Each structure stands twice: as structure tokens, then as C-alpha cells.
């Protein structure tokens, strides 16, 4: 039987961190790294999957209503299948050959790219038709309910909707979005610390719980508050006194970050890279000091980037506790930037980093036969 091939990218976030699950704003771009799935129909109601990267094969019955997570890569695939079935879509049995080049565990959304590629493959091969917003939302649910991370919708959304050469300003409440060109001559340099601290998922969920505690506090005082999106910095200084310390600072990060994203989008639209760079620096400080999701390796990479040739702005990106930074760098200085940051990070930390010079890429699609 012939295969159909689907591909979905990872992402890098320019600004707007930990705002997605607070109904706020984010501004990511899809990257050139992606997960590719070759899907072939089967005649039974089984879902077979093989990861070329991990060298493992798994098989599950689609009719198993008691499906629970296995605690490994197959959760992202099976979670999407279970979610589609739970939403009433009847899937065709399939074998999925999976291969990807999104660095794993680096905060570039290898899991979202796997989920979205799986969704496109299963939907395509089963002859179903779902909108991309619906696909992004069900992939997020798969990750929340199956893989155990209480992530927001940013990663799955940008994997679906990314556009070459553009960043995407997303309102995570309405899911309205705007594509904003990244000025010609600017490269996105992703610098990988090569560390991932162990407690990342637990801390991620703890931060979300802190934000929810903040919402409860403000909703008691300001009736229209449903999420931190609805709280202003003026509300925080007026009514924030009753909050315990870490919750106060978590709220200050989210509220100030939302404001920064809107200003950053305007700055990018006007090619005002000085303002954008300033906002990225403020974002990093807020993530380090108030949200407390940075780590020494990320802080070091940002400091080195800010001292390197061609730099326009730099900050940690993604879920934190290791992973990557994003830097906007002038194209004609990018080789010097990469050399200097790479050397100095190696000298200071003893770790050899990876630096990826990228531009914004297109979102998920069928690549064979091309749609
Ligand atoms: C992870 C999550 C996203 C988002 C970021 C932080 O990437 O998957 O939903 O919350 O962290 O901005």
C-alpha cells in the first residue's frame, strides 16, 4: 500500500513566555526542524508506530477505551489518536513511520511537532476533515491529558499556522492571530545550552498552579477576571498585597509579559529592532527573577549573546530550566556571532553548545503526494 507523508515543524518563541495558559499573547515562529511521518493504511483497527530516532516500534488497538500513558514517546502519538476517537472521529488503522530532526528536550517543541504531524497523518489517512484550530486544540489536550504536561496552546498552534519569514502574534484566548514579517537581513539564532534540568515538568505545572492561585485572588476582588490576562499592572499594585510572595511575582511576570508582547509586535511591524531588543531583555529578566524558570546556563548564553557581534535582542525561549535561547542577529555578522558565543560558552561552562542559524518556516502540511 502506498504511503502519504506529513510534516510538522517545531517552534521558537520570540517573546510571550508562560502567557499562553493565562489567556494572553505569544509571538512564536515555526522553525526549519520538523517531524515527518509516512503513513500507510492497515486493514485492522490497529495503530502501529516506529520511531527511527529512538529505534523502537509500538502497536496499540484503536478500540482500547482504557488507554493510558506509557510514559514515553509513544504517548504523543497515541494521545492524539485517543483524543480524535474521543471527539467522535473514527480512525482508520495505520502504520506510522516517524522521523524528526527537532532537537529533543531542547525546548523547541519536538513533542508538539510529533503531535501535529500525527494528527495530520491520522486525519488524512482516515479521510476526515478538521480545521487547523481544532487540530491545534486537540493536540494540546493530548499533551495535557495523556502526556501529563499542563501546557498551553502556543506550540501546537504555531506548528499548524507558521509561515515562512514571519512571526505569529497569537491571542491565546480568541485564537485570533496576525502574521508579522521578520525584517530581511535578520536571522534567528537558537543557542542550545545542552542542559535540561530534571524538575522541568513538575516546575512547569507548579508555575501554572501559582498563576491559578493569582486568578482566584483577583477574581474575588475584580468580578470580570477569568485569567491573568484580565489583570493589569495597576490592579496588581492596588490589590496584590494579599498575595504570598512567589504568587505575586509569578503574576507580575505574566501581566508585564503580556504588555511586552503587544509592544514587541508593534515594534516588529515597524522594524524597530532597538525596542524589540529592549523588550526581549526585560522578558528574560522577568523570567529569571519573577517567574524563576531560567538557570545559570541560559543566563550565561544571554549575557554572551548581548556582547556578541550583530546582536539585536536575546532571551531564553520556551519552558526554561535549560533548553535554548533565541537571539535576533544581523545576517552579515552571524558567522562571527556564532563563533564568539560558541567559544565563550564552552570556555565558561565546559559544555559545547549547539547554535542553529534559522529563519521562520512554514507550518504543518502534507508533503507527499503534495496537497
Ligand atoms: C512550553 C509549553 C507552552 C508554553 C511555554 C512557555 O513550551 O508547551 O505551552 O507555556 O512552555 O511559554
User: pLDDT tens digit string along 159-188?
Assistant: 999 999 999 999 999 999 999 999 999 999
Whether 351 is in a domain gets the answer no
Whether 65 is in a domain gets the answer yes
Q: Domain of residue 176: give its range.
A: 3-182+361-369
pLDDT in tens, 124-163: 999 999 999 999 999 999 999 988 889 999 999 999 999 9
Whether 256 is in a domain gets the answer no
Whether 178 is in a domain gets the answer yes
Whether 346 is in a domain gets the answer no
Which protein residue has the closest C-alpha to ligand 1 atom 2? 151
* DSSP letter for each residue of 255-286: HHHHHHHHHHHHHHHTT-HHHHHHHHHHHHHH
Using the predicted structure, report yes or no on whether residue 292 has a pLDDT greater than 60: yes
pLDDT in tens, 41-68: 999 999 999 999 999 999 999 998 778 8
Annotated catalytic residue 155: yes
Q: What is the CATH number of the domain that holds 125?
A: 3.30.230.10
The binding-site residues of ligand 1, defined as CB within 6 angstroms of any ligand atom, are 17-18, 20-21, 151-152, 154-155, 318-319
The tally of domains found in the chain comes to 1
State the pTM of this model. 0.97
Whether 353 is in a domain gets the answer no
What DSSP character marks residue 145? I
pLDDT at 68: 84
Whether 15 is in a domain gets the answer yes
Say if residue 74 is exposed, middle or buried (CB neighbours under 10 Å; 0-12, 13-18, 19+). buried
Q: How far is CA 202 from the centre of its chain?
A: 17
Query: d(Cα 83, Cα 291) in Å, to the nearest integer?
Result: 31
- Looking at the chain, the number of H-run helices and the number of E-run strands are 10, 12
Query: d(Cα 96, Cα 5) in Å, to the nearest integer?
Result: 9
Whether 30 is in a domain gets the answer yes
Confirm if 27 and 169 have CB atoms less than 8 A apart. Answer: yes
pLDDT in tens, 74-126: 999 999 999 999 999 999 999 999 999 999 989 999 999 999 999 999 999 99
Among the listed residues 20, 23, 95, 155, the single catalytic one is 155
Q: When comparing pLDDT for 82 and 201, which is higher?
A: 82
**How many CA atoms, within 13 angstroms, populate the side-chain half-sphere of residue 146?**
28
Using the predicted structure, report yes or no on whether residue 371 has a pLDDT greater than 70: no
How far is ligand 1, taken at its centre, from the CA of residue 30, in Å?
A: 14
Which mutation among 16, 18, 159 tests ligand 1's pocket best, with the greatest number of atoms within 8 A of CB?
A: 18
- The three-state secondary structure class of 329 is strand
Return the closest-CA partner of residue 62 out of 78, 38, 40.
Answer: 78
Amino acid at each position: 500500500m502506498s504511503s502519504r507523508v506529513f510534516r510538522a515543524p517545531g517552534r521558537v518563541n520570540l517573546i510571550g513566555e508562560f502567557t499562553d495558559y493565562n489567556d494572553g499573547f505569544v509571538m512564536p515562529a515555526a522553525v526549519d526542524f520538523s517531524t515527518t511521518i509516512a503513513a500507510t493504511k492497515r486493514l485492522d483497527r490497529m495503530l502501529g508506530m516506529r520511531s527511527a530516532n529512538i529505534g523502537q516500534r509500538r502497536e496499540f488497538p484503536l478500540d482500547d477505551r482504557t488507554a493510558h500513558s506509557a510514559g514515553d514517546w509513544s504517548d504523543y502519538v497515541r494521545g492524539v489518536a485517543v483524543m480524535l476517537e474521543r471527539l467522535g472521529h473514527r480512525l482508520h488503522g495505520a502504520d506510522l513511520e516517524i522521523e524528526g530532526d527537532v532537537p529533543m528536550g531542547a525546548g523547541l517543541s519536538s513533542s508538539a511537532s510529533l503531535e501535529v504531524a500525527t494528527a495530520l497523518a491520522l486525519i488524512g489517512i482516515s479521510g476526515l476533515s478538521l480545521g487547523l484550530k481544532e487540530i491545534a486544540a486537540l493536540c494540546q489536550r493530548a499533551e495535557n491529558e495523556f502526556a501529563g504536561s499542563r501546557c498551553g496552546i502556543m506550540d501546537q498552534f504555531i506548528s499548524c499556522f507558521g509561515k515562512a519569514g514571519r512571526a505569529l502574534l497569537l491571542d491565546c484566548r480568541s485564537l485570533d492571530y496576525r502574521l508579522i514579517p521578520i525584517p530581511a537581513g535578520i536571522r534567528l539564532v537558537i543557542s542550545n545550552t545542552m542542559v535540561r534540568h530534571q524538575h522541568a515538568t513538575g516546575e512547569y505545572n507548579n508555575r501554572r498552579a501559582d498563576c491559578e492561585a493569582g486568578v482566584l485572588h483577583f477574581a474575588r476582588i475584580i468580578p470580570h477576571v477569568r485569567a491573568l490576562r484580565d489583570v493589569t499592572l495597576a490592579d496588581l499594585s492596588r490589590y496584590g498585597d494579599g498575595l504570598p510572595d512567589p504568587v505575586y511575582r509569578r503574576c507580575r511576570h505574566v501581566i508585564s509579559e503580556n504588555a511586552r508582547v503587544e509592544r514587541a509586535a508593534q515594534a516588529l511591524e515597524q522594524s524597530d529592532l532597538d525596542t524589540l531588543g529592549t523588550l526581549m531583555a526585560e522578558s528574560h529578566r522577568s523570567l529569571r527573577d519573577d517567574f524563576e524558570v531560567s538557570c545559570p546556563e541560559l543566563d550565561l548564553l544571554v549575557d554572551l549573546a548581548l556582547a556578541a557581534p550583530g546582536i539585536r535582542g536575546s532571551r531564553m525561549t520556551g519552558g526554561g530550566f535549560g533548553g535554548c535561547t533565541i537571539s535576533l542577529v544581523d545576517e552579515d555578522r552571524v558567522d562571527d556571532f556564532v563563533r564568539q558565543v560558541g567559544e565563550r560558552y564552552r570556555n565558561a561552562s565546559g559544555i559545547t553548545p549547539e547554535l542553529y542559524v534559522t529563519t521562520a518556516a512554514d507550518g504543518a502540511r502534507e508533503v507527499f503526494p503534495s496537497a
